[in-house]
A and B are shown apart, each in its own frame.
Chain A
Amino acid sequence: MALLEFQGVCKIYNNTTKALADIAFSVDEGEFVSIIGPSGSGKSTILRCINRLVDATQGTVIFDESDISHASKKDIREARKKIGMIFQHYNLVDRLSVIENVLHGRLGHKSTISGMMGRYTESEKEKAFQILEKLGLVEQAYKRCDELSGGQKQRVGIARSIMQEPKLILCDEPIASLDPSSAKVIMDHLSNINRNMKITCILNLHQVDVALKYASRIIGLTSGRIVYDGPPNHLTKNKIYEIYQSSEGELITDVW
């Protein structure tokens, strides 16, 4: 049984801009999927349709055996608890400590009042520290997030999403603002989480070479349509040119 299924999903912004056209694919548990495609091809829109930051105009999104595209507000919250998300700009609360930001992952599981007040149980705090240890951030636990480097911030973002105990993690350009070595650390952590914790990951990536190296499956997107869906070793050079609608010599990957 697939964990996630898109059936004929369309998204039109402001009645005019067509972002997604008849998207259909399904993702099984444990997959490490990378979506590639030029800016504006609808990568972010696909991710955001899954956790309903964006509402699909047409079609159905099924997550964990329930129809999320037509769910009530309460059901959306239930589904969101099971879906972690990692952002290009980390999206941490900069003025709070690292550990507080990690604990934010639990908010959805808590009562409104104790979540508001930031009252967490000792076992939740212990778990947060265990996660930070795995990500090599324990020494930073009591630092304020604005004191961290980009790579460290992104690891806090990962820690926060694992804290949710999600079935699926969505990553929206997780390494686009990072230097190459921090980017590798982040990708290695995501890959580990996928393999060891059996959490399905869907990543939007701009770096084709990174996608080819890490992903178990690649979805190529061009102006809102899927033009490639398959394993990375079947993705030919010509297909990449088709995805980015360019010809030989026009892509940065051609430089190497």
Chain B
Amino acid sequence: MGDNREITNFTALNSHRCVRMTRGGKIKTGADGKANLVIKITIIALLGLTIIGFLTFDYKDTNIFTAILDTFVNAGIMFGTPRLSHVSFSGAMEQLLVTFALATLATIFGAVIAFFASLLCAKNIANPIVANVVKSFVAFVRAVPTILWVFIIAMSSGLGSIAAVVGLTFHSAGYLTKAYAESIEEMNEGAIEALKTSGASFWQIVLQAIMPSSIRYMVAWTFLRFEINFANALAVGAAAGAGGIGFELWMAGNQYHDLRELGFLTYIIVIAAVLLEVIATKVKEKAG
């Protein structure tokens, strides 16, 4: 009972040896480790690079005020008086559909591949050796940018929609594998253990425990990827000649120098992207 006496002198405490001080002489409370230092170094490095960047740009005698003014004038023409001249409205819609098709196909193929790959590399269900091999391979696939995959595929298939879809699929599969595997790793491992101990087989566990627990996240990730693929399909359509509204955009800008058409096509794309976002949010809510 003698332990209850009030502690009046802090330095007399036995635990005093373990207390660390900050440089200001206050008691330190943060955890050990280099994390704080790393963050500080990163921020300082980024700040330095930004300053060096601005100091070494080649400004080509551009007058900043004329430049800003011209930008506003051009933007005014583009978005203030949009109109189609080289494509018809129905033609533009058709091209939008082509872009959607590219994105949809790539997302579906990617999702199917990623589903099986994620079962092979989620820590809580996979064989650790297989998991590491699959994870490294997937990391490599993701490290190569989408557009590069498209050009790599184009070597055998030629530029066009096949190269676009296959190239987009590669990166989607890599991205979704990581996302799905993390969704699976998030789940309560106990449920897997419980079914295993009752004699359930692997695929029974996948469909009865893993899917119900992770499907919501998987759907959310897939939609996010679909949005990314839509943006990628725009770029790939132009760069790889796969067609779609991205290609029309490129034609309007680089071939016809038609600012008004550029504006109109941009509006179409923005409206499509917003609609996509709204639908995705609704689906996510329903899935939850």
Q: B108 near A: Cβ within 8 Å?
A: no
**Chain A interface size range:** 20 to 34
Give Cα A92–Cα B213 distance, bound, in whole angstroms.
Answer: 10
Give Cα A136–Cα B188 distance, bound, in whole angstroms.
Answer: 26
Please give the residue numbers on chain A whose beta carbons come within 8 Å of chain B beta carbons, in ascending order.
51, 53, 77-78, 80-81, 83-85, 87, 89-96, 104-105, 107-110, 112, 115-118, 157, 160-161, 164
Q: Is the interface of B mostly helix, strand, loop or mixed?
A: helix
A118 lies within 8 A of B207 (CB): yes
Q: A80-B198, A108-B199 are in contact. Are A87 and B190 (CB under 8 A)?
A: yes
26 A-B pairs whose Cβ atoms sit less than 8 Å apart in the complex: A53-B196, A53-B197, A77-B199, A77-B201, A80-B196, A80-B199, A83-B197, A89-B190, A91-B193, A92-B194, A93-B212, A94-B213, A95-B212, A95-B213, A104-B208, A104-B209, A107-B198, A107-B199, A108-B198, A110-B204, A112-B204, A115-B201, A115-B204, A116-B203, A116-B206, A118-B207
Q: B153 near A: Cβ within 8 Å?
A: no
A105 lies within 8 A of B198 (CB): yes
Q: A78-B199, A115-B200, A115-B201 are in contact. Are A87 and B208 (CB under 8 A)?
A: no
A75 to chain B, nearest CB (A): 11
Q: Other than A95-B213, A95-B216, A104-B208, give 13 A-B pairs with Cβ distance below 8 A.
A: A51-B197, A53-B197, A77-B201, A80-B197, A87-B194, A93-B191, A94-B213, A96-B212, A104-B195, A105-B198, A108-B198, A108-B200, A164-B199
Give Cα A96–Cα B205 distance, bound, in whole angstroms.
Answer: 13
| Residue in contact with A93 in the complex, picked from B197, B199, B208, B216, CB distance below 8 Å | B208
A116 lies within 8 A of B208 (CB): yes
Give Cα A90–Cα B196 distance, bound, in whole angstroms.
Answer: 14
A68 to chain B, nearest CB (A): 13
B188 lies within 8 A of A91 (CB): yes
| Residue in contact with A85 in the complex, picked from B198, B200, B208, CB distance below 8 Å | B198
Give Cα A112–Cα B197 distance, bound, in whole angstroms.
Answer: 15
List which B258-276 residues lie within 8 A (CB) of chain A.
none
Q: Which residues of A contact B206 (CB under 8 A)?
A: 116
Give Cα A108–Cα B194 distance, bound, in whole angstroms.
Answer: 12
Closest to A88 in B: B190
Q: Give 5 nearest A-B pairs by CB, closest first.
A: A108-B199, A91-B190, A107-B200, A91-B194, A80-B199
Most buried by A among B199, B201, B212, B216: B199
Q: Which residues of A contact B207 (CB under 8 A)?
A: 116-118
Give Cα A121–Cα B204 distance, bound, in whole angstroms.
Answer: 16
Q: Which residues of A contact B208 (CB under 8 A)?
A: 93, 96, 104, 107, 115-116, 118
Q: Which residues of B contact A117 (CB under 8 A)?
A: 207
A92 lies within 8 A of B198 (CB): no
Q: Which residues of B contact A110 (CB under 8 A)?
A: 204
Give Cα A91–Cα B198 distance, bound, in whole angstroms.
Answer: 12
B207 to chain A, nearest CB (A): 4
Q: Which residues of B contact A89 (CB under 8 A)?
A: 188, 190
Give Cα A81–Cα B198 distance, bound, in whole angstroms.
Answer: 5
| Residue in contact with B213 in the complex, picked from A53, A93, A160, CB distance below 8 Å | A93
Q: Which residues of A contact B197 (CB under 8 A)?
A: 51, 53, 80, 83, 85
Give Cα A90–Cα B193 distance, bound, in whole angstroms.
Answer: 11
B252 to chain A, nearest CB (A): 48
Give Cα A118–Cα B212 distance, bound, in whole angstroms.
Answer: 11
Give Cα A116–Cα B208 distance, bound, in whole angstroms.
Answer: 6
Closest to B201 in A: A112
Give Cα A124–Cα B115 distance, bound, in whole angstroms.
Answer: 31
Q: Mark B218-238, 1 if CB is under 8 A from A, else 0.
A: 000000000000000000000
B227 to chain A, nearest CB (A): 25
A171 to chain B, nearest CB (A): 12
Q: Which residues of A contact B194 (CB under 8 A)?
A: 85, 87, 91-92, 104, 157, 160
B113 to chain A, nearest CB (A): 20
